[in-house]
């Protein structure tokens, strides 16, 4: 081999390392983790720029994706009164597809924060991407509001002073549905759980609630992700005689489990289904014939009351479908964020979040919302039951609201929190 | 014991389904020497063809059972003539890569236009409901699946092993040039074989539509398992694929009873083991 | 030969000056990590003639090992990377020993099956945090001196790692070992009849390829400060095949070009994500039909034709 090439390569490697040493300590250290004390009311970089980072093309694209972008546009329009300007400055909205890859999400977020001067990032469906971007926000002192992911780690071990978990987490879904069903007599459960952290979390949070209130867990089947065929598990569930079949899975697994549960006559023979993470898009895709009678908890329903209907109408006009709680969450969080900037006159993360903590949020999406120190927005959730086909009077008329679950009941108490920001 | 019997029956049903899928794959590999990564996409196309037929043209399930495989088979003819035939002289690596690319393309297209939550294909009313067998409740549709799958498998096996056409096919896999010298139109045979193989995948897709959600991802979810079945059974062996499909279905069923978390991993474990001990597969002949 | 030397020096110069001209250094670091991964893969495919469909196992597992050691055990980055690379080499030895026994398509299927087992392990093992991924991996200080939390420092470190890996591959290819590999690729029985222990050579090539893939994975984990299941899925194994095919199998710079193009496409289309798989599929089909030598291969052929 040519000795010259060797020399070139070796010197290159050495040079790089030396350059690294020389330049490395030039850059100022990363911004401190805690938000800086409130500065004079100014906008960084003279522009208000927000980003929607979501899944446009993968498994979550139906419940977030394009709809989230539309919801964000609605929020900007409303917060600026249709002018597109806040405090005399233009509000810019950008979006990108993280393709469910945490490293793409992290790269994009990094570019947005460092180069494109984005002030806050929204949506972040998919727990791995949400955790990654929230971590980045913590490092750079920028706001990250998650409405799409459900991991309790976001306000637990990985909590951030600049991160907000706006819409739902696995705990609120589990306890909401679990506690509510217990009240209706569902005291024996069998779980069908997706065998990964998320599924386990759903199952354990719900089990805890059930056992605490005197119910029993008769058994559990942990299935690998993307299992097609649930027949074996459904057979076991039937044999157990449990009153409720808890579905601790999501997406395609959920859809197939529900479809096959109907096929195997579980519902007809008296077992009730409880979906622990269900979006209205899942019901839409399965149809009422298959899903009727199923219980679930959501943080928002378009047909809840007049306020929610009015907003959902404006969403429907653009999206041609009703919003999921993720879409609604993007609208609500972005709207309130922009309003907070307007109220405080600055987009400094610490100041904005401090302001948000002082409010009780009541908008078309959130009822009785209070922001906690660990970043969790505590707000009303709803126990819903899927209607029978005969009860549905209009398109997307899928749910009857069985109970309104007050926020405090739907979140993990601070006493049990693993968040380092909470002083106990 | 009762529970076990129910699980074994379920395993058998799933196995029959595996068998139909892997049969198409085995036939294609045997004749074209191509590792057909696009098989899952063809399965997806079959399911979508049924769904589109129902939604846009009102074609019912029974008609789709016939039409979907024909439509997908026709597409297969196009693919084979335009794309695959150019690769026969090359390293089999390229066939694998081409079909891998095709799968990406087709699935990406359907994902772009139909999203990922999938479409609902209603259960045909004649087959809904079920009967209580005592040890389990057997949906009528599942009974139908096992009957249909085994029929198709048997028909294919008969076609290949017992008819003249099948004899040509088997001769073609061993020595295409010699067969051509005898006056048989080998390229036509190859094209038809490919069309048949993908038609089988499409048929499996129609069978799956009422019970598994029809979505763009349905193919990629099962393709590697189907591969495992074919590899374990023996890449060119018809009987091998059928028996292995059934066997693995049973084995997976048992795993789901005792250690469900491993029900997917177990197939790969077996695949690795078989490849080490008998690389040509349990029923295959060493290439 | 002169042109080649000058060409290499120019490329090197560009690479060294790059961070001062681009906004997003992290993107280029991603390119370099994947380029190293593709080059390592190409060593096996292009030069030894072995198609592995399970290389993601090495990329991802090394990333998890490094991430875990650096984050939870507190190892400095250089030791973390070393550990990750070593674990990939070990895994490569295990995979290789099992897979080498078979040829062609069976070899590929074994590697696929084994990497699937690694995937299932990654989903289950607690230290990988499954779906959530391993987050918040600290970059640390290289050798206690270079602060990697600055993008500049990290960039040059990645460049250094890439050059080192590339150097190793280049040396291997042009060495007697590399020549024997090529002989084995072209005609294994003949190589054996000449007295070479083909199995040993193939195994060594496999381990080297795995180790360098692991090096890429470990470095990438530090760059992004996270590691997720994406890196151990079989689709990732498919991506590296595409990069190599597109860039040019069996060429030295091909995989680098392929990685560059693919990472850029993915990044560019992040805004139009719906079309990415379709585009990748089209590229695959196109390359296999008419562009088999890949970008670099076709370019080299065209240059040779010039009178």
In this structure, what token pair is assigned to residue A385?
A: 């039951």
**For residue A175, is it within any domain?**
yes
User: Which residues of chain B neighbour A196 with C-beta distances below 8 Å?
Assistant: none
SS3 label, residue A345: coil
Asked if B96 lies within 8 A of C105 by C-beta distance, the reply is yes
Neighbouring chains of C at 3+ CB pairs under 8 Å are A, B
Asked if C110 lies within 8 A of B107 by C-beta distance, the reply is no
Q: Are residues A183 and A268 in the same domain?
A: yes
Which H or E run includes B204? helix B186-208
> Please, what is the average pLDDT of chain C?
88
C-alpha distance from C227 to closest chain A C-alpha (Å): 8
Asked if C116 lies within 8 A of B224 by C-beta distance, the reply is yes
C-alpha distance from A337 to closest chain B C-alpha (Å): 31
- Name the residue facing A196 among C26, C130, C276 (closest C-beta): C130
Q: Are residues A367 and A328 in the same domain?
A: yes
Asked if A131 lies within 8 A of C133 by C-beta distance, the reply is yes
A-B interface: how many C-beta pairs under 8 angstroms? Answer: 104
Neighbouring chains of A at 3+ CB pairs under 8 Å are B, C
pTM over 0.90: no
Asked if C285 lies within 8 A of B98 by C-beta distance, the reply is yes
User: Which residues of chain A neighbour B16 with C-beta distances below 8 Å?
Assistant: none
Q: What are phi and psi of A238, to 5 degrees?
A: -60, -45
Asked if B105 lies within 8 A of C277 by C-beta distance, the reply is yes
User: Which residues of chain B neighbour C108 with C-beta distances below 8 Å?
Assistant: 35, 96
Classify the C-alpha dihedral A154-A160-A163-A167 as positive or negative: positive
Q: Are residues A215 and A274 in the same domain?
A: yes
In this structure, what token pair is assigned to residue C263?
A: 């990472």
C-alpha distance from B235 to closest chain C C-alpha (Å): 10
- Name the residue facing B111 among A57, A233, A236 (closest C-beta): A57
pLDDT of amino acid A403: 87
**Shortest CA distance from A282: residue in chain B:** B117
- Which segments of A170-279 does DSSP mark as H helices, in order? 170-183, 197-212, 231-240, 251-263
* Residue ranges of chain C whose pLDDT lies below 50: 1-2
In this structure, what token pair is assigned to residue A209?
A: 């609630």
User: Which residues of chain A neighbour B141 with C-beta distances below 8 Å?
Assistant: 263
ipTM (interface pTM): 0.82
Asked if B272 lies within 8 A of C281 by C-beta distance, the reply is no
- Name the residue facing B115 among A61, A236, A238 (closest C-beta): A61
Q: Are residues A149 and A105 in the same domain?
A: yes
Asked if B119 lies within 8 A of A255 by C-beta distance, the reply is no
User: Which residues of chain B neighbour A197 with C-beta distances below 8 Å?
Assistant: none
Inter-residue contact C155 to A17 (CB < 8 Å)? no
The residue among B28, B36, B97 with the most chain C CBs within 10 A of its CB, best to mutate, is B97
C-alpha distance from A282 to closest chain B C-alpha (Å): 7
Asked if B221 lies within 8 A of A256 by C-beta distance, the reply is no
CA dist., res. A246 & res. A223, Å (int): 13
**Shortest CA distance from C24: residue in chain A:** A111
Asked if B275 lies within 8 A of C116 by C-beta distance, the reply is no
Asked if C98 lies within 8 A of B279 by C-beta distance, the reply is no
Q: Are residues A59 and A119 in the same domain?
A: yes
Strand (E) positions, A294-354?
Answer: 295-298
CA dist., res. B217 & res. A228, Å (int): 11
Interface of A with C in 148-207 (CB under 8 A): 151, 153, 158, 195-198
- Name the residue facing C27 among A2, A8, A107 (closest C-beta): A107
Sequential pLDDT tens for chain B (287 residues): 667 888 888 889 889 988 999 999 988 988 888 889 999 999 999 999 999 999 999 888 999 999 999 999 999 999 999 999 888 888 888 888 899 899 989 998 998 888 777 788 888 888 888 888 877 888 889 999 999 999 999 999 898 888 888 888 888 777 878 888 888 888 898 999 999 999 999 999 999 999 888 988 888 878 888 888 888 888 778 888 899 999 999 998 888 888 888 888 888 888 888 877 887 778 876 54
**For residue A325, is it within any domain?**
yes
Asked if B104 lies within 8 A of C277 by C-beta distance, the reply is yes
SS3 content of chain A, % helix, strand, coil (to 5): 45, 20, 35
Asked if A232 lies within 8 A of B136 by C-beta distance, the reply is no
**For residue A3, is it within any domain?**
no
pLDDT digits (tens, 9 = 90+) for B105-119: 999 899 888 877 778
Which H or E run includes A380? none
SS3 label, residue B66: helix
SS3 label, residue A273: strand
User: Which residues of chain C neighbour B88 with C-beta distances below 8 Å?
Assistant: none
- Domain containing A294: what range? 171-298
- Name the residue facing C105 among B35, B97, B98 (closest C-beta): B35
pLDDT of amino acid C202: 94
User: Which residues of chain B neighbour A60 with C-beta distances below 8 Å?
Assistant: 116
Asked if B112 lies within 8 A of A236 by C-beta distance, the reply is no
Q: Report domain extents, chain B.
A: 2-222
- Helix (H) and strand (E) counts in chain B: 11, 2
**Shortest CA distance from C113: residue in chain B:** B268
CA dist., res. C236 & res. C95, Å (int): 17
User: Which residues of chain C neighbour B102 with C-beta distances below 8 Å?
Assistant: 281, 284-285
pLDDT block averages, 10 residues each, chain A of length 424: 55 58 45 42 76 84 89 93 85 88 84 89 88 91 92 88 92 85 88 84 89 91 84 89 91 87 85 90 87 89 92 93 93 94 89 92 92 92 92 92 88 86 74
A227 touches chain B (CB under 8 A): yes
User: Which residues of chain C neighbour B264 with C-beta distances below 8 Å?
Assistant: 120
Asked if B13 lies within 8 A of A285 by C-beta distance, the reply is no
User: Which residues of chain B neighbour C288 with C-beta distances below 8 Å?
Assistant: 87, 94, 97-98, 101
pLDDT of amino acid C219: 95
Per the structure, the count of domains in chain A is 2
Q: Are residues A255 and A341 in the same domain?
A: no
Region of A100 please: left (phi>0), alpha (psi -120 to 50) or beta: left
- Which segments of chain B does DSSP mark as H helices, in order? 2-32, 39-57, 61-82, 92-114, 140-162, 164-174, 176-181, 186-208, 218-233, 238-258, 265-277
CA dist., res. A68 & res. A55, Å (int): 9
A251 touches chain C (CB under 8 A): no
Indicate which CATH number applies to the domain containing A367: 3.40.50.2300
**Shortest CA distance from C120: residue in chain A:** A224
- Name the residue facing A102 among C9, C163, C226 (closest C-beta): C226
pLDDT of amino acid A22: 52
User: Which residues of chain A neighbour C277 with C-beta distances below 8 Å?
Assistant: 57
Asked if A131 lies within 8 A of C15 by C-beta distance, the reply is no
Inter-residue contact A21 to C145 (CB < 8 Å)? yes
Asked if B224 lies within 8 A of C245 by C-beta distance, the reply is no
- Name the residue facing C271 among A96, A102, A115 (closest C-beta): A96
Asked if C131 lies within 8 A of A135 by C-beta distance, the reply is no
User: Which residues of chain C neighbour A17 with C-beta distances below 8 Å?
Assistant: 146, 156-157, 160
Q: Are residues A195 and A276 in the same domain?
A: yes
Asked if C101 lies within 8 A of B279 by C-beta distance, the reply is yes
Q: What are phi and psi of A301, to 5 degrees?
A: -140, 135
Largest Cα–Cα separation, chain A: 82
CA dist., res. B87 & res. A149, Å (int): 45
Asked if A264 lies within 8 A of B13 by C-beta distance, the reply is no
């Amino acid at each position: 081999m040519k000795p010259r090439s060797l020399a070139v390569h070796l010197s290159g490697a050495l040079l790089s390392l030396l350059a690294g040493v020389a330049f490395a300590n030039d850059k100022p250290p990363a911004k401190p983790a805690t938000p800086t004390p409130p500065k004079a009311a100014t906008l960084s970089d003279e522009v208000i720029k927000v980003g929607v980072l979501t899944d446009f093309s993968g498994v979550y694209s139906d419940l977030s994706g394009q709809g989230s972008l539309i919801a964000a546009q609605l929020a900007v329009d409303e917060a600026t009164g249709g002018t597109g300007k806040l405090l005399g400055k233009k509000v810019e909205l950008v979006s990108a597809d993280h393709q469910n890859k945490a490293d793409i999400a992290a790269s994009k977020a990094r570019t947005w924060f460092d180069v494109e001067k984005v002030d806050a990032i929204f949506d972040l469906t998919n727990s791995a991407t949400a955790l990654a971007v929230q971590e980045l926000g913590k490092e750079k002192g920028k706001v990250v509001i998650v409405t799409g992911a459900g991991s309790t780690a976001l306000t637990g071990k990985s909590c951030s002073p600049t991160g907000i978990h706006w819409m739902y987490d696995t705990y609120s879904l589990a306890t909401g549905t679990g506690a509510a069903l217990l009240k209706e007599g569902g005291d024996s459960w069998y779980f069908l759980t997706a065998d990964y952290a998320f599924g386990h979390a759903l199952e354990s949070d719900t089990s805890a609630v059930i056992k605490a209130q005197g119910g029993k867990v008769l058994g559990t089947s942990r299935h690998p992700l993307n299992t097609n065929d649930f027949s074996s598990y459904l057979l076991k569930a039937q044999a157990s005689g449990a009153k409720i079949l808890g579905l601790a899975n999501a997406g395609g697994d959920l859809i197939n489990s529900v479809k096959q549960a109907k096929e195997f006559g579980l519902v007809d023979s008296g077992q009730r289904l409880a979906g622990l993470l269900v979006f209205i898009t899942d019901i839409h895709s399965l149809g009422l014939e298959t899903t009727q009678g199923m219980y679930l908890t959501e943080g928002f329903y378009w047909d809840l009351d007049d306020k929610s209907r009015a907003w959902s109408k404006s969403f429907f006009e653009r999206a041609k479908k009703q919003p999921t709680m993720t879409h609604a969450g993007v609208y609500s969080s972005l709207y309130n964020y922009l309003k907070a900037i307007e109220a405080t006159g600055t987009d400094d993360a610490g100041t904005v979040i401090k302001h948000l903590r002082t409010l009780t949020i009541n908008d078309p999406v959130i009822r009785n919302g209070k922001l906690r120190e660990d970043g969790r927005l505590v707000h009303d959730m709803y126990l819903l039951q899927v209607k029978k086909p005969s009860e549905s009077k209009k398109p997307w008329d899928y749910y009857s609201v069985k109970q309104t679950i007050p926020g405090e009941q739907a979140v993990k108490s601070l006493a049990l929190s693993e968040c380092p920001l909470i002083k106990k | 014991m009762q529970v076990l019997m129910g699980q074994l029956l379920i395993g058998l049903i799933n196995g029959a389904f595996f068998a139909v899928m892997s049969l198409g794959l085995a036939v294609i590999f045997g004749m074209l020497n191509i590792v057909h990564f696009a098989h899952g996409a063809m399965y997806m196309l079959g399911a979508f063809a049924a769904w589109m037929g129902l939604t846009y043209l009102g074609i019912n399930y029974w008609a789709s059972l016939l039409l979907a495989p024909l439509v997908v088979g026709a597409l297969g003819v196009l693919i084979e003539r335009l794309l695959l035939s150019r690769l026969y002289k090359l390293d089999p690596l390229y066939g694998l890569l081409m079909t891998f690319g095709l799968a990406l393309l087709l699935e990406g297209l359907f994902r772009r236009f139909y999203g990922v939550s999938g479409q609902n294909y209603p259960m045909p009313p004649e087959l809904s409901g079920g009967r209580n067998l005592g040890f389990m409740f057997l949906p009528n549709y599942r009974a139908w699946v096992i009957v249909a799958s085994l029929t198709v498998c048997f028909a294919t096996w008969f076609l290949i092993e017992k008819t003249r056409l099948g004899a040509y096919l088997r001769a073609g896999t061993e020595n295409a040039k010699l067969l051509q010298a005898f006056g048989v139109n080998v390229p036509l045979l190859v094209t038809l074989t490919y069309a048949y193989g993908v038609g089988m995948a499409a048929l499996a897709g129609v069978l799956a539509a009422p019970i598994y959600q029809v979505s763009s991802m349905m193919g990629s979810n099962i393709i590697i398992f189907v591969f495992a079945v074919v590899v374990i059974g023996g890449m060119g062996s018809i009987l091998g694929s059928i028996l292995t499909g059934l066997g693995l279905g049973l084995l997976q069923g048992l795993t789901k009873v005792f250690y469900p978390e491993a029900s997917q991993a177990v197939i790969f474990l077996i695949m690795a083991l078989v490849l080490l001990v008998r690389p040509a597969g349990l029923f295959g002949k060493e290439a | 030969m002169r042109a080649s030397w000058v060409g290499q020096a120019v490329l090197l110069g560009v690479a060294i000056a790059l961070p001062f001209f681009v906004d997003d250094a992290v993107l280029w670091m991603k390119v370099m990590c994947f380029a190293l991964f593709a080059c390592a893969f190409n060593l096996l495919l292009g030069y030894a003639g072995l198609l592995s469909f399970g290389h993601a196992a090495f990329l991802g597992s090394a990333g998890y090992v490094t991430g875990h050691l650096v984050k939870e055990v507190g190892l400095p980055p250089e030791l973390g990377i070393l550990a990750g690379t070593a674990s990939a080499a070990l895994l490569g030895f295990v995979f290789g020993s099992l897979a080498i026994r078979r040829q062609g398509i069976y070899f590929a299927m074994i590697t696929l099956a084994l990497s699937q087992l690694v995937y299932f392990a990654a989903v289950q093992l607690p230290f990988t945090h499954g779906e959530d991924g391993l987050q918040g991996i600290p970059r640390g200080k290289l050798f206690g001196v270079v602060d990697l939390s600055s993008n500049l420092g990290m960039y040059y470190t990645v460049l250094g790692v890439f050059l080192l890996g590339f150097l190793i591959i280049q040396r291997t290819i042009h060495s007697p070992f590399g020549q024997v590999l090529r002989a084995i690729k072209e005609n294994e029985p003949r190589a054996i009849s000449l007295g070479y222990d083909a199995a040993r050579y193939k195994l060594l090539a496999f381990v080297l390829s795995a180790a360098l893939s692991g090096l890429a994975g470990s470095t990438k984990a530090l760059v992004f400060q996270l590691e997720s299941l994406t890196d151990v899925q079989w689709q990732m194994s498919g991506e590296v095949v595409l990069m190599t095919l597109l860039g040019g199998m069996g060429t030295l710079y091909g995989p680098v070009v392929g990685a560059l193009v693919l990472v850029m496409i993915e990044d560019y289309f992040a805004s139009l994500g719906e079309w990415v798989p379709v585009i990748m599929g089209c590229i695959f089909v196109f390359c296999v039909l008419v562009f088999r030598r890949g970008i670099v291969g076709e370019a080299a052929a065209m240059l040779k034709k010039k009178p």
